[in-house]
Every structure is written in C-alpha cells, then in structure tokens.
Amino acid sequence: MVGKRTYSNREKQRNAYKNDPSPDSRKRLKQDDTDEQSWLTPTSSRTGTVASTLKRASGRFGGPVSIPEDGMDVEKCSEPNGKPTSVFDKVANGRSNLAIPQQASIHGSRDAFNTTMKGRRNSKQSNTRPQSSYLPTPPAEVQKPSGYGISSRPSSSNGCAISPASKTATANGSIETSKLLEKIIDNEKTEPSYTPREYESDKTPAPRKDIHGDYMSKRSKEARLWHANQSNSPLLRLPANVRERIYKHVLGGNTINICYKTYQLDRTGYDKPPILSPVFKYHCTVFKGKASPYKQTEQPWIKTSTGFTLLNGVCRQLHQETSIMPYELNVIAFDSHLTMWNFLFMENRLSRKQRHAITHLMLPDAQPQANMLTYLPNLAKFFLGRQITMEDHTQLANGWYKVIRLDGREPKLVHSRNIW
C-alpha cells in the first residue's frame, strides 16, 4: 500500500515585492522534521476496531493523520536516513503494486473480437431466462421438463433463495390453480351447444258442447279435429299470450261502420236503365284507425274495405279465442240510430259476450238513452257525428262523450270538454 503524502510548495515561492504583506503571517508553514513520521491511510471502515495506539515522537502538529484499521497496516514511508521517499523510487523498488482493473477490450485480432461479442450474447441470454416465482404454473407447463427454459433451482425475483415455507405455498398454489384450470377446461368441453328452445302451448281439452249446444263426446269427430289442430297448426302451437298479441294486431285498431241496405241499383248494360233490386242486409265498411265515417267517406286518402275478415269460421278454437275481439278492440259505428236499435236490441245479432265487449260507439244523429247504456255495461265512450237540436230546442254538440256510471243512478253522457 502507498503511504499518504503531503506535498508543499514551500520551495517554489516567488521573491517578495514591495506591496507584499509582512512575513510574520499567522499562517504556519509545515516543516518536514526528521523526527516526524508519515503513516499509511487504509480504507475507512465504521465497524473496524483500532488494534494499536499511535504515538508521535514530537508534540508539534505535523499535518492530518489517518487512524489505521489494523496495526499491521502501519508502514513507514521514510528512509532510515530520514529523507522522504518519492513515488518514483517506490515504483522502481516494486513497493507500489497497484491492481489495474481489467476491462473488456475489442481492440486486437478478429478472433478476440468475435470471442468478446459471443461472451456478451451468452450473458444476455442467461439473464433473460425465466426463473421460477411465486406465481402458480398451469398444468401444461408443469408437465414440461425442468430444463425447458425454466431454472430448476427456485429463486426469488431479486435473486435470493426461497425459504421452505415459500416453496410449500408456491406448490399449494400451483396445485389449486391447476385443479381450477382443469375444471374450467372440463366445463368447456362438456357444455352443450346452444339449441333454441321451442315454446309450445299447453294442450287444452275439447269443449263439452258444440256450436248448437248439444253435448259432444270425447271420441267424436269434432274432438279429434280439436286435438289434431293443436298438434299440427303452427299458430295454435304458440303460447296463449303470443297468440293474443297476434290477434290484437290483426283484428284491432279500426273503425267498423255497420249499415243496412234495403235496395240497390244494378246496371245490366250501357243501353238499358239500371234495375232497382231489393237487398235488406247488413254490411260493414272498415276504416283504418279511429276515423269518423260520417265526414271522411269520400276522402281519397282514407283506407277503407267493404268487408272484415274474421277468424271465427276457421276452426272451433279460433272462434272461442277471437269471438269478442273485433267488438272489444275496434270502434263500432252505425249509419243511423235505428240501425243500431235493430242490430243490437231487436234482432240480437250479437251474443251477450260480444255485446258486453263493446267499449266505443258512434252514431250520426242521436244519443243512446239510459236504458241502452245499461244494456251496454262496458261502454266507456260515445261519439256523436253531427250537432243536433232536441225537441226543447237544446243543442247537443258533436264530439266525444264519456259515460258516467254511479251506484244507484242511471248512467249518463258528459261531453269530454266539460270533464276537465
């Protein structure tokens, strides 16, 4: 080791000038005395202990002194004759052997350069190899050999060895995760493919009576047709709520105007006059949506039809399910008050269920009386097509009326504008 040396510029001082301060300065210049020794300074260590006590030969201050860690490191840096030894002398005598760090150099032959680069590549590949960690390993990876890219020696992320407790936890976690992954794979394999569910209606028994009111046996032709229709018809196999929505879409939302024809003109040719032939039948005209048949009969944009296709005559089950829907879901209008009286009250063209299903009614020239409102218990609104004058010279405004029903009193009509 090289001892610590303190160099001074005492002998290189320049000559004094007239403006220089006085030589009796407070600063003491260090002098190299023969009785002063220089000590080597080892590397500093906080935990080291001082093995020997240093003694100075002279009481004068001789510069900074470092305390060595061990007494064996103390070495005198001066010659026996008292003269200081220079650095060049030490190097020449072989006393200063400094360790020169070896660094990789690419200078030299081509073979040396290739060897250096190959060593660097190998070091990079060894650093990038995966090491085992605390994360569990899937079953497929567990079955691989230990030398397949995975270090057989377990180590943590910072390079320290894993304790036995950590090894046990890692193994348990790997086993549990492996079982979980195997279970998920088994569920994916055993899960059946998606198959659309077929919604079918529950089969109902055939009615006990036919349309004439006679009792019908279970082995009759009508009963067999009932069960055959439920099994073969795509419409009747649908659930009941789905069929009901279809019926409402097909049969509802219209205005049905019922008229009574007595005579009509028939043209037999261009050269002959028309012939008046008797009819005496009811017929209907269907208006799309809620429309007044008394004002819009001749408007070209109003969609009308001279008939209304019912589902009553298709089969017995459709008759039973849709018999009241045309009167419940549509507005029923008549061309006159007399036609309504004959159709509903005198001739009983409708059954009681169909009559009770009427909720909206239209008349062009009169209002229904209280007894007629009682005969139609579910009637909620009435529409008067024209403004009329009563016998007492009171006028009834056209428009919608609401039926008011109170317990113990006769039902009455109140105009909609007077309700609010």
In this prediction, residue 295 carries a pLDDT of 78
Counting residues of the chain whose pLDDT is more than 70, the rounded percentage is 57
- For residue 414, pLDDT beyond 50: yes
Closest CA to 224 of 316, 155, 301: 316
Higher model confidence: residue 266 or residue 363? 363
370-380 average pLDDT score: 94
Residue 246 binned pLDDT confidence (cut-offs 50, 70, 90): very high
What is the C-alpha to C-alpha distance for residues 110 and 95, in angstroms, rounded to an integer?
A: 38
Convert the pLDDT of each residue in 41-86 to its tens digit.
555 444 444 444 444 444 455 555 544 444 444 444 445 555 666 6
348-366 average pLDDT score: 93
Residue 205 binned pLDDT confidence (cut-offs 50, 70, 90): confident
| Per-residue 3-state assignment (H helix, E strand, C coil) for 140-181 | HHHCCCCCCCCCCCCECCCCCECCHHHHHHHHHHHHHHHHHH
- For residue 150, pLDDT beyond 60: no
226-248 average pLDDT score: 90
Residue 168 binned pLDDT confidence (cut-offs 50, 70, 90): very low
Convert the pLDDT of each residue in 93-142 to its tens digit.
655 555 555 555 555 677 888 888 888 888 777 665 555 545 555 555 44
Higher model confidence: residue 27 or residue 314? 314
Closest CA to 150 of 142, 159, 160: 142
- For residue 373, pLDDT beyond 70: yes
The gap between the terminal CA atoms of the chain, to the nearest Å, is: 115
In this prediction, residue 84 carries a pLDDT of 62
pTM: 0.52
Higher model confidence: residue 158 or residue 268? 268
Q: How many CA atoms does the CB half-sphere of 187 hold within 13 Å?
A: 6
What is the C-alpha to C-alpha distance for residues 239 and 247, in angstroms, rounded to an integer?
A: 13
- For residue 89, pLDDT beyond 90: no
In this prediction, residue 293 carries a pLDDT of 87
Least confident of 324-333, 376-385, 388-397: 388-397
In this prediction, residue 314 carries a pLDDT of 85
Residue 145: alpha-carbon gap to chain centroid: 42
Residue 92 binned pLDDT confidence (cut-offs 50, 70, 90): low
- For residue 154, pLDDT beyond 50: no
- For residue 224, pLDDT beyond 60: yes
Higher model confidence: residue 48 or residue 286? 286
What is the C-alpha to C-alpha distance for residues 415 and 397, in angstroms, rounded to an integer?
A: 8
In this prediction, residue 353 carries a pLDDT of 92
Residues with Cβ within 8 Å of 127's Cβ and at least 6 positions away in sequence, in order, are: none
